């Protein structure tokens, strides 16, 4: 059930992003793999693929029947021109421990 929720959540997010120009190209397959379970949070890797290409994301799901909220990040890391970087996955895990379902696409903002 948790697997289906994570895949459905990510497909909905991806659908919104591509809806204007590529709605017909979103048909494809999705796979979800549980990576870890830590501190009341299940960590899953979500893979989507289709004619449009592919994308990977990490989903953090709290051990609750109903999450307190849902958060979608647009990037998993931020890198500045001076070399400084911020990994948003730590923040996403913190939000999940607080009760929110969080999904983070594997993508870096420079």
Confirm if 105 and 55 have CB atoms less than 8 A apart. Answer: yes
**β-pair partners for 108:** 77
Q: What is the mean pLDDT of residues 56-74?
A: 92
In angstroms, the CA 75 to CA 2 distance is 23
Q: Centre a 10 Å sphere on the Cβ of residue 3 and count the other Cβ atoms it contains.
A: 17
Q: Give pLDDT tens digits for 94-107.
A: 999 999 999 999 88
Split into its structural domains, the chain has a count of 1
Its domain, for residue 56, covers: 2-109
Total-model pTM: 0.69
For residue 18, the model assigns a pLDDT of 54
Please provide residue 99's backbone torsions phi and psi, each rounded to the nearest 5 degrees: 120, 0
In angstroms, the CA 29 to CA 10 distance is 12
Find, among 94, 81, 23, 31, the residue nearest to 52 by Cα: 23
- Between residues 53 and 92, which one has the greater pLDDT? 92
């Amino acid at each position: 059930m948790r697997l289906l929720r994570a895949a459905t959540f990510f497909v909905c997010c991806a659908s919104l992003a591509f809806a204007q120009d590529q709605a017909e190209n979103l048909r494809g397959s999705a796979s979800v793999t549980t990576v870890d379970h830590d501190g009341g949070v299940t960590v899953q890797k979500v893979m989507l693929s289709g004619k449009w290409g592919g994308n990977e994301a990490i989903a953090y799901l709290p051990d609750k029947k109903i999450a307190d909220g849902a958060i979608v990040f647009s990037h998993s890391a931020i890198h500045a021109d001076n070399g400084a970087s911020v990994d948003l996955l730590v923040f996403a895990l913190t939000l999940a421990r607080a009760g929110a379902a969080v999904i983070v696409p594997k993508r870096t903002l420079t």
